[in-house]
Amino acid sequence: MAKFRRTAPVAAEMGIIPYKSENGQWIPSPFAGNGWWTGGFWPALMWQFYSAGRDPLFLTEARRAQALLTGQFRVFHELNHDVGFMYLLSCGADYKLTGDEQARTDTLHAASLMMGRFNPAGFIRAWNNADQAGYAIIDCMMNLSLLYWASRQTGDPRFAHVADIHAHTALREFIRPDGSVSHIIEFDPETGRRVRELPGQGYALGTQWSRGQAWGLYGFTLAYMNTRKPEYLEAALRIAANFIAHIRPDGLTDCDFCQPDTEERLDNIAGAIAACGLLELEKLTEKGEYRQAALRLVDGLLDRCCDWTDARCGLLTHCTASYHDDGAGRHTNITYGDYFLVEALAKLNGTDPMLWI
Ligand code: GLY
């Protein structure tokens, strides 16, 4: 927290939402400005710290970033299914921690945008390109929490119905027999029939992009926490078993569990996300093996991949956005890695405000 007390004012001075940090500087997203899917994690990090100590510096910084994010409602055609990540963890967190009514309204606005992406053929459309009308991705399991939240807030079950329809499609089409998950499935947008799997951000078609595995693990866990439907817990446990089998001896996480061993490529964000999901699974199942696995991941990150110095603004190193595309960051500090590491540490400390539910 002390490090971010020093570096949050740097972001405010720059007037940006940090995406990553390099060479002693915060760097904004290289894509889509404040509309990039990661924009909510910076205010979410601020809300985690605010929740822990009620330091107004973090509240002020979260709301500064939120003003930039809600400005994106004016150009909503750029937004996609990631409005869950963007607004539940920012405006939704604000409402949860402060009761601010405008923050609640903004979060409901985001949920309405998410509803507009639902294809009644059975899935929530991920992205906006004209040739992607049938694309759905595993990451969306995390965004469903926004819809469950909106149903609880409004008393209107439509949001949760849509989340459940998408989650059942994901159960059927994304989870493989070995407990791994696909990243992208294309459906026929007219009929909902499965067309094909695409390789996405992993090494190759049919491999196991580790962050996708983590999104599936934590996403189905959250779907269970939101609904108590046993099929979601069963899915989360299958994905968790596969993830745990691939944790490296040093506790760090390969970018793809099937990547060639000729070159080291890590994505520690995946390990941090999975640790959060595993800690929730331990509470739900009362099985210590999930906590042990989470501790292996968190210890690996703390022992080997945290930069506590002021040489860089952020904390977690060796984060990789995508196996083949280094443009969004490879083996660097990326803000959502910091967010999930801090969330995992808060869970271990018993102080997590649980911003997803
Ligand atoms: N949700 C996009 C990613 O994990 O890169």
Please, what is the end-to-end C-alpha distance for the chain in angstroms? 23
Q: Given ligand 1 and candidates 83, 208, 211, which is best to mutate, with the most ligand atoms within 8 Å of its CB?
A: 211
Which residue has the CA at smallest separation from atom 5 of ligand 1?
A: 321
Q: What is the pLDDT along the chain (357 residues), one digit of tens a residue?
A: 999 999 999 999 999 999 999 999 999 998 888 999 999 999 999 999 999 999 999 999 999 999 999 999 999 888 999 999 999 999 999 999 999 999 999 999 999 999 999 999 999 999 999 999 999 999 999 999 999 999 999 999 999 999 999 999 999 999 999 999 999 999 999 999 999 999 999 999 999 999 999 999 999 999 999 999 999 999 999 999 999 999 999 999 999 999 999 989 999 999 999 999 999 999 999 999 999 999 999 999 999 999 999 999 999 999 999 999 888 899 999 999 999 999 999 999 999 999 999
Residue 139 annotated as catalytic: yes
C-alpha of residue 203 to centroid of ligand 1, in Å: 14
Q: Measure the CA–CA gap between 125 and 340, rounded to whole angstroms.
A: 25
Residue 325 annotated as catalytic: no
Q: Measure the CA–CA gap between 142 and 121, rounded to whole angstroms.
A: 21
Q: Is the CB of 340 under 6 A from ligand 1?
A: no
Q: Measure the CA–CA gap between 353 and 343, rounded to whole angstroms.
A: 9
Coil/strand/helix, residue 184: strand
Q: Is the CB of 37 under 6 A from ligand 1?
A: yes
pTM of this structure: 0.98
Which of 23-39 are b and which e, b meaning 16 or more Cβ less than 10 Å from the residue's Cβ? eeebbbbeeebbbbbbb
The length of the chain, given as a count of residues = 357
Residue of 94, 106, 131, 139 with catalytic role: 139
What secondary structure does DSSP assign to 326-350, as a single string? Answer: GGG-SSBEEHHHHHHHHHHHHHHHT
C-alpha of residue 55 to centroid of ligand 1, in Å: 30
Which of 167-181 are b and which e, b meaning 16 or more Cβ less than 10 Å from the residue's Cβ? bbbbbebbbeeebbb
Map out the domains of the chain as residue ranges: 2-349
Q: Given ligand 1 and candidates 19, 20, 215, 319, which is best to mutate, with the most ligand atoms within 8 Å of its CB?
A: 215
CATH 1.20.1440.230 fits 2-349, yes or no: no
Two structure tokens written together for 33: 């400005």
C-alpha of residue 139 to centroid of ligand 1, in Å: 6
| Cβ partners under 8 Å of residue 46, min gap 6 | 4, 8, 58, 59, 61, 62, 65
Q: Are strands 18-22 and 333-334 parallel, antiparallel or unpaired?
A: antiparallel
Which residue has the CA at smallest separation from atom 2 of ligand 1?
A: 139
